[in-house]
Structure 1
C-alpha cells in the first residue's frame, strides 16, 4: 500500500482533535495556547498505523474562522479527508467553508464523520443525514460514506478506523511516485536548542540524507543533515510522507511557512502570476 496523507476538516469544536486522539493516541494540540483555550490554532500531526504496520500521516487542522489560512496550509497535499460534523450542531459556517476549500483543492476521497452521536436522538441523526445529503448535493462528496462516533463508545472509533483502512485501500493504487524531482512546501519551521534548523512538510518525490536542495525564494543551497518521519530517523523519504529535515546553510529566522525546498532545476522567482478565480456560492 502506498503512503497516504489523511486530513481533518470541519467547524470548530466538532471533534477533529478528539477524533485524531482516539485513532492514534496522540494529542495534536501541543501549543500552550491551544491547551489553555481548548481549541486548535495551528497544524497538528499524528501517525495512523495500519493493520499491516504501515504508517499513514494524519494532519489535524484548526476549525476556527480566524485560522482558515492554517487550515489551507494543512489541506494542501492531503489524499483523504475525515470531514467532521457534530450531531448537535449540524452544518455550521466553517463546515461550508472547509467543504469549498476541499473542493477547490480537488480532494475526492474521504469519510463524513458524525461526531457527538451520544448527545442527540436517532431522529435528530436521520434529519442531519438528510440535511447533509442536500448540502453535499454535487458529485464531489456524494461517494463519501457516513460514520457515526461517540466519545462514550470507543467501539465507534474502531468502526471508523476499519472504514478508513477499507476506503484508503481503494485509492492506494492510484497514488504513485509521479515526481522525478523532490519538493517540500514548508509548513513548519523551528530551531531546538543545540540542534539547528528544522523544517517540516509533506513530501513530493524522493530525497535522502546528505542530499542538497535549494530553498526558494531565497535561492540558498542547503544540505539535509537528518530526516525524521513521525519522530523516527530515516535515511530516505518518498512521496506522501510527513517529514522533518534538519538542514544546514540557513537559519530558522530566514525561513517561513510557504517557502519551498526542491532540487528542481527549472524553478524561477517571479513577480508575475496567473490567477484563475472560481467564485463560490
Structure 2
C-alpha cells in the first residue's frame, strides 16, 4: 500500500482532489462541510491501475492549523504537494514545502490543480524551482481538475509508479495514533499509519501517551480500509481495536509500540539539517514534532549542526529517527536526525566539547560497528531498543564490547592489578567490586570478558597468575608450615596463631597464595594435609559418621566438621543421611 499525505495552501483543492480520486469525502466534521474548510486530518483510499491501494491523509492548509498539518505529514514517506494553477505558489505553499524538507519526505508528487481555470505551466515551474531550493526533487508534475476529471487517470498512474512494490518493512511496530473513537459493542478504535513491522490480532502493545510509557494493551481486532484482517504489515493505514482501553487514554500523538523495542527518552543528541538560506538559529525553547506527537523542548547547541534536546515528556525513539523542530515565534521549521536517544547529560567543564567530539562522526544510521565504537560497551537489549540490528543469536542480557575498547580495558585491568601488587605485596589481589569501580564497569560479570592470561582469580580475588610469595610473607609461611607439620590435623587455635605471631591478615594472604587452606574462621590446614585426610577417609567403611572421621584423623570436631564440608564442596565426599553420614564419591 502507498500511504500519502496532502500538502499545500488552504483552498488549493486538496480535499476536492482526494474526493475526486477516491469517491470519499475526507472531511469528517460537520463544521468542515458547512464551511468548506478542512480543520482536522481526513482519510480516504482508492485502488490504483496495478491493483495496489493508495491511502491518503488529507491535512488542513490554513496557517492556524500548522501543528495538525505536521501531525499528518509526520508518519508518512510520500506526499502530494498541491498547488492551484489559478493562484500559484503562496506563503502557505512554502511553509508546507518547508515541512516536507524538514521531515525529509523521500517521495513527493507535485500536483497542479484547477487546470481547467488556468494554464498549469507557470505554477508548475515556480513550484519546482521552490522545491529544488529546499533540496526536494519530484517526478514530473501532474495537472488535474477535480471538477472535470481531467488528469485523474494520469495521477493514479503516477502514484502507481511513484513507489515500487516492496516487501513489508521488518522491525518493531510504532504506530502513531491520529484518531481514536469508540464503536458500540467493540470499544476503543485507534487509527494511524503503520510504516514498518507487523501487528497481529492478540498482540500485546505498549502505549506511550502524553509522554507516559508502559501502559499495556491487547489488540482485539484490526482493519485495513474497513476490512477485517488478522495481521497487517507496514506501510499501511490501520485501524486497531484495543481491549479494555478507554478512548481518552489514546489521544492523538499516542504511540502503539512493540514492547521493549524503543528507547523512551527525554534527552536526545541530534544532528541539525540546515542550508545556506537558513536565517538566525532556532531559539532555546522549541516545539518538537515526531509522528503525530509534539513536545515542548529545550535546545542546546553544541556546534553549527549538533545539538542536545531536552523534551518535556518522553518520546519512543530509534537512532536515525527524523524530528522536526519548530520555532513557536517565527514558525520556522528545521529537520533533525536522532544520533543518540540515550544521550548523556552534559555537565562539568569540557563536557560539551567531549560530547561534540564523540558525535562528530555519527551518521544517524543504526550500524552495529559504529554504535559499538562510539559507546565502547553496551547491552544487546539496549542496542535493539536503539534500533541497531544485532545478530539473533545474541542473548538479550549479553554485553558487546568494541574491540578497541576491549583492548583498552584489558590494559587498564592489568596495570591496576600490577600497581596494587606493588603497593600491597602481602595482599596483592583485588576483589571484583574494586575492579568494577576502578574501571567504571556497570557489572562485575564483565570482568570475565576482559581478564587477560596474565591474571588469575583465586577465591573471588584477581591477581597475577605467576605471583611469587612476597618476601614479607615468607617468615609467617615458615612458622605456619612448621606448626602444621607437627600438629597435622589438630589445627592451631586463634590463640595459638597469636602466640606464633601470625595475624589474621597474614593468614588470609597465605591462603590467597595457596600456602594454606581456610576451612573455617581461624581453622587452617596445608593443602597436603587436606589431600592426606581424603586418603585416610578412604579406609573407612561407608557411610561413616563424623565420629569415625575424628577417630581416624585424631582431630577435634572443630576441624573435622569444616574439613568434611570442604571435601563435600570439592566433590570428594558427599552426605548420604540427614545426620551427617558420608561416603567418598
TM-score, length basis structure 2: 0.44
Q: Which residue of 2 aligns with 1:154?
A: 149
Q: Secondary structure at the match of 1:155?
A: coil
Equivalent in the alignment of 2:65: 67
Contact 1:181 1:205 in 2 (8 A): yes
- Check if 1:186 corresponds to 2:177: yes
Say if 1:199 and 1:244, in contact at 8 Å, map to a contact too.
Answer: yes
1:218: how far off? 4.0
Aligned to 1:113: 111
Compared CA separation, residues 275 and 41, structure 1 to 2 (3 A): farther
TM-score, normalised to structure 1, is 0.89
Query: 1 CA distance for matches of 2:137 and 2:147?
Result: 29
| Corresponding residue pairs, total | 272
Give the stretch that moved more between structures: 111-120 or 225-234. Answer: 111-120
Equivalent residue in structure 1 for 2:98, among 93, 97, 100: 100
Aligned with 1:260 (options 255, 260, 277): 255
Q: Give yes or no for the alignment of 1:229 onto 2:221.
A: no
What's the secondary structure of 2:133's corresponding residue?
coil
Does the Cα contact within 8 Å between 2:221 and 2:242 map onto a contact in 1?
yes
1:32-51 Cα deviation digits (max 9, x unpaired): 11111111111111112122
Partner of 1:42: 40
Q: 1:130 aligns with which of 104, 125, 138?
A: 125
Question: Do the aligned partners of residues 70 and 148 (structure 1) sit closer, same or farther apart at CA in structure 2, a change above 3 Å counting?
Answer: same
Shift of 1:207: 1.4
**Cα 1:178–1:54 shift into 2, 3 Å:** closer
For 2:238 and 2:272, the matched residues in 1 are separated by: 32
Q: C-alpha displacement at 1:140, in angstroms?
A: 3.2
Which residue matches 1:211? 203
C-alpha deviations, 1:107-166, integer Å up to 9, x for none? 12222111111222x3xx433333224322337333431111123431321222222222
- Give 3-state SS (helix, strand or coil) of 2:39's partner: coil
Distance 1:82 1:58 in 2: 9
Match of 1:83 among 66, 81, 84: 81
Contact 2:172 2:261 in 1 (8 A): no
Considering only CA atoms, is the larger Rg found in Structure 1 or Structure 2? 2
Equivalent-residue separation in structure 1 for 2:66 and 2:125 (angstroms): 27
- Report Cα offsets for 1:178-208 as digits up to 9, x if no partner: 4321221111111133321111111121011
Q: Which has the higher contact order (CA 8 A, sep 6+)?
A: 1
Equivalent in the alignment of 1:141: 136
1:92 Cα deviation from its structure 2 partner: 1.1
Find the aligned partners of 1:134 and 1:50 in 2 and give their Cα distance. Answer: 29
Q: Secondary structure at the match of 2:57?
A: strand
Aligned counterpart in structure 2 of residue 51 of structure 1, from 49, 61, 79: 49
**What are the superposed Cα offsets for residues 19-58 of structure 1, whole Å, 9 maximum, x if unpaired?**
1111111100011111111111111111121223322211
* SS of match in other structure, 2:183: coil
Secondary structure of 1:117's partner? coil
Aligned to 2:14: 16
Higher helix share: 2
Aligned partner of 1:196 in structure 2 is 187
CA RMSD of aligned residues (A): 2.0
> Post-superposition shift, 1:241?
0.8
Change (3 A) 1:191 1:159: same
- Evaluate the alpha carbon distance shift between residue 260 and residue 127 of structure 1 in structure 2; reply closer, same or farther with a 3 A threshold: closer
Note closer, same or farther for the CA distance 1:267–1:37 as it changes in structure 2 (3 Å cut): same
Separation in 1, partners of 2:129, 2:50: 37
